[in-house]
């Protein structure tokens, strides 16, 4: 029974990684850049929820809504101010370095406003959860809600991408930016939309993360951000189902190795798995081999 409990909590952590990884992978797939500030969008989302609920005494749901809206605006603004001017720069490194700069900028702004001390975060999910088999298997409300929300996010996102013209435009830009523009697709608008969606997802991930692990500092987003990046690469960067699978695998491995092997070694094991998977299949689990044009 306890194994099942750990498995489910791994699934829950993995769901959060998956939602973050979706943002990474969409931005990479469509804008062909790694937004290393993505993890810090999560932290910003958390602080917004914290401010609305703890400081202003607002409803948690209102807090999440405000966080989603503000993070979306933050994502669009970051793309417009920091990344767009560098599109078409001679080296893709320029935008990568800028993303790292944006990451430090956000962390330090948070440090300035909220200070370095860790804020305790009261969970936005107050449900106790379910108990099975006469109390032997207990699943927390946070865990269930997290898993359900990530499933919902994946379904809505897939429907959006497969069934709407905006989603199809994203796929077209991801595959061939030049041909897409010549068919009348506005690449800037499409990339902006991608950032908006990725950042909104980061805010949702922030709410779930801080509900499951209720402590908040300016560096809250950094480690989950990196792990989600690993998840995206593991699943095959650019692939949406890949990000989901990568996230889940990572979450389960992390919790199980924390439980059965060593909590100090769990991160080493997680990254070790990445190395092994990439050695065997460099494109990730669902990644496709890109054929070079001849």
Partner 1 sequence: MTLLDVNKLSISFGGLRAVDDFNLQIEKGELYGLIGPNGAGKTTVFNLLTGVYKPNEGIIKLDGEDITRKNTVQINQAGIARTFQNIRLFKQMSVIDNVKVGLSERFKYSTLEGVLHVGKYRKVEKEMNEEAMKLLKVFDLDGEKDTLASNLPYGKQRKLEIARAMATNPKLLLLDEPAAGMNPNETKELMDTISLVRKEFGMTILLIEHDMKLVSGICEKLTVLNFGRVLCQGETKEVLANPEVIKAYLG
User: Looking at 172, 205, 209, 212, which residue binds partner 1 (CB under 8 A)?
Assistant: 172
Count of Cβ atoms closer than 10 Å to residue 6 Cβ: 16
Q: Please, what is the minimum distance in Å from the beta carbon of residue 199 to partner 1? A: 14
Nearer to partner 1, 112 or 182 (CB): 182
List binders of partner 1 among 131-170 (CB under 8 A): 156, 159-160, 163-169
**Measuring CA to CA, which residue among 133, 190, 198 is closest to residue 166?**
190
**Is position 180 an interface residue for partner 1 (rule: CB under 8 A)?**
yes
Site string for partner 1, 70-99 (x = CB under 8 A): ------------------------------
**Is position 175 an interface residue for partner 1 (rule: CB under 8 A)?**
yes
List binders of partner 1 among 189-218 (CB under 8 A): 193
Cα separations (Å) of 117 from 110, 125, 220?
Answer: 11, 23, 12
- For 93, what's the count of Cα atoms within 13 Å in the CB-facing half-sphere? 1
- For 91, what's the count of Cα atoms within 13 Å in the CB-facing half-sphere? 5
Nearer to partner 1, 182 or 279 (CB): 182
**Is position 171 an interface residue for partner 1 (rule: CB under 8 A)?**
yes
User: Looking at 7, 65, 94, 185, which residue binds partner 1 (CB under 8 A)?
Assistant: 185
Q: Please, what is the minimum distance in Å from the beta carbon of residue 286 to partner 1? A: 13
Cα separations (Å) of 40 from 20, 36, 62, 172?
Answer: 11, 8, 21, 29
**Is position 184 an interface residue for partner 1 (rule: CB under 8 A)?**
yes
List CB contacts of 246: < 8 A, sequence separation 6 or more: 17, 18, 21, 230, 231, 232, 233, 234, 235, 236, 284, 285
List CB contacts of 98: < 8 A, sequence separation 6 or more: 82, 83, 86
Q: Which residues contribute to the site for partner 1 (CB under 8 A)?
A: 156, 159-160, 163-169, 171-172, 175-176, 178-186, 193, 293
């Amino acid at each position: 029974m306890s194994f099942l409990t750990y498995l489910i909590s791994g699934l829950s952590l993995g769901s959060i990684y998956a939602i973050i990884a979706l943002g990474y992978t969409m931005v990479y797939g469509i804008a062909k850049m790694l937004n290393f500030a993505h993890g810090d969008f999560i932290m910003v989302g958390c602080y917004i929820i914290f401010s609305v609920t703890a400081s202003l005494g607002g409803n948690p749901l209102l807090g999440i809504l405000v966080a989603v809206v503000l993070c979306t605006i933050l994502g669009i603004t970051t793309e417009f101010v920091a990344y767009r001017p560098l599109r078409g720069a001679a080296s893709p490194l320029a935008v990568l370095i800028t993303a790292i700069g944006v990451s430090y900028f956000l962390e330090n702004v948070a440090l300035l406003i909220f200070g370095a001390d860790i804020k305790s975060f009261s969970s936005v999910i107050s449900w106790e959860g379910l108990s099975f088999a006469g109390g032997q298997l207990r699943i927390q409300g946070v865990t269930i809600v997290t898993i359900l929300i990530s499933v919902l996010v994946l379904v809505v996102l897939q429907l959006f991408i497969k069934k709407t013209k905006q989603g199809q435009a994203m796929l077209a830009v991801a595959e061939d930016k030049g041909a897409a523009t010549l068919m009348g697709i506005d690449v800037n608008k499409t990339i902006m939309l991608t950032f908006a969606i990725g950042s909104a997802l980061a805010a949702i991930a922030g709410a779930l993360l801080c509900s499951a692990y209720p402590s908040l500092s300016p560096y809250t987003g950094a480690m989950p951000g990196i792990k989600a990046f690993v998840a995206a690469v593991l699943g095959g960067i650019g692939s949406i189902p890949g990000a989901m699978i990568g996230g889940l695998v990572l979450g389960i491995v992390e919790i199980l190795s924390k439980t059965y092997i060593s909590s100090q070694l769990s991160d080493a094991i997680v990254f070790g798995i990445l190395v092994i998977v990439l050695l065997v299949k460099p494109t990730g689990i669902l990644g496709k081999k890109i054929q070079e044009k001849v």
